[in-house]
Amino acid sequence: MLKIKYDIVGSFLRPQEIKEARKKYFDGKISIEELREVEDQEIEKLVAKEVEHGLKIVTDGEFRRRWWHLDWLKEFDGFTTKHLEKERNGQVNKIELGMVCGKISYDRSANHPEIQAWDFLYNLVKKYPGVEAKKCISGPNMILVDHFLQLGLKEIPYYGTDLNALIDDIALAYQEAIKDFYDHGCRYLQIDDTSWTYMIDADFCKKVSDLGYQKEEVLQWFKTVSTKALENKPKDMIIANHFCKGNFKGYPLFAGLYDSIAPIICQIPYDGFFVEYDDERSGSFEPWSILKGSDKTFVAGLISTKNPVLESHDEIKKRYLQAKEVVGDNIALSPQCGFASVEEGNCIDEEVQWQKIDLLVSCKDFL
């Protein structure tokens, strides 16, 4: 159970100082150490501002990342990315997709960048009494989505066609990663996994069918690898799941209702579920009625990070109480996603971002 009433999903708009430093790094004008110094300074400012605005759970804003998911997945041996150009919303974007290139594993003896990032945040937050640090990483399903469904690859390097062996190794790698974060003091881990909402989108499901797979088959992959990844989870570590309907520079990627996936994902031993419900595209809360009376927390993502229009306090209260009627008292409130799934960020400005955070915190009067 998540012992929270309100929380954030994780990412924040990147400050200009980080954007400029990152460009200088990729242009060869500064070292990685100099880039890290800038990131450290901006993360310190961010955490101070999160606390100032009333957040009790804080993140580093994913300030060290280019992508919400790939920067983490690159920590695994046997995983790499492919650079592509793809048109979306009338604009050609440079994107990356992940692929398996060998045996998937996670080396706990390595000094992983994401562990270093966690250590910095964890030690930074110690000076704020009553405030907890949260680590956000992308989920195991994203490896399967990119390799098989996005890139459409059939063969698996090292594994051949043995999907079960790949799933087992992905799960074992996540078990090792979870232990690594735990040993470094992490007690609240959020696993972001939009794979579930890929599979509620009719257009994407047609693509899956065209590749020769069935929706039910793919959902079983997701359930199996996600469940196995949480085996041996430390008892005093909270692990929540977050998924939204995609978020690329503020634009959604998928549409559909949660009816077909909620009964499956609720069987996975997560402690809570952050679910997007910021507009009518999500439908009713009814698919999550299965959580009523359980020890799993439903976190209603009612505040949009894509739409610059600021919701009203009364509007959020009305929707929250509707959700509570369905899922019961074990409920919390959050934005529907982070503010910057990629480093370019969503189509809002920093002032609106913090107004949205203030709205979230102000809602504690009815939570």
Report the b/e string of 71-108 with b at 16+ CB within 10 A: bbbbbbebbebeeeeeeeeeeeeebbbbbbbeebebee
The verdict on residue 297 lying in a domain is yes
Question: Contact 34/112 with Cβ under 8 angstroms?
Answer: no
* CA atoms within a 13 Å half-sphere pointing along the CA-CB vector of 47: 25
Identify the residue with better confidence: 282 or 302.
302
High-pLDDT (> 70) share of the chain, %: 95
**pLDDT recorded at residue 201:** 93
Is residue 249's pLDDT more than 80?
Answer: no
**pLDDT recorded at residue 255:** 85
The verdict on residue 65 lying in a domain is yes
The verdict on residue 3 lying in a domain is no
* CA atoms within a 13 Å half-sphere pointing along the CA-CB vector of 60: 28
The verdict on residue 5 lying in a domain is no
Looking at the structure of the chain, the number of domains it has is 1
pLDDT digits (tens, 9 = 90+) for 79-101: 999 887 665 556 656 778 999 99
Q: What is the pTM of this model?
A: 0.95
CATH assignment of the domain containing 330: 3.20.20.210
Look up the domain containing 47 and give its range.
16-365
**pLDDT recorded at residue 89:** 59
pLDDT digits (tens, 9 = 90+) for 115-125: 999 999 999 99
pLDDT digits (tens, 9 = 90+) for 264-297: 999 999 999 999 998 877 889 999 999 999 999 9
The verdict on residue 342 lying in a domain is yes
The verdict on residue 10 lying in a domain is no
Strand 77-88 and strand 57-58: pairing?
A: unpaired
The verdict on residue 303 lying in a domain is yes
The verdict on residue 273 lying in a domain is yes
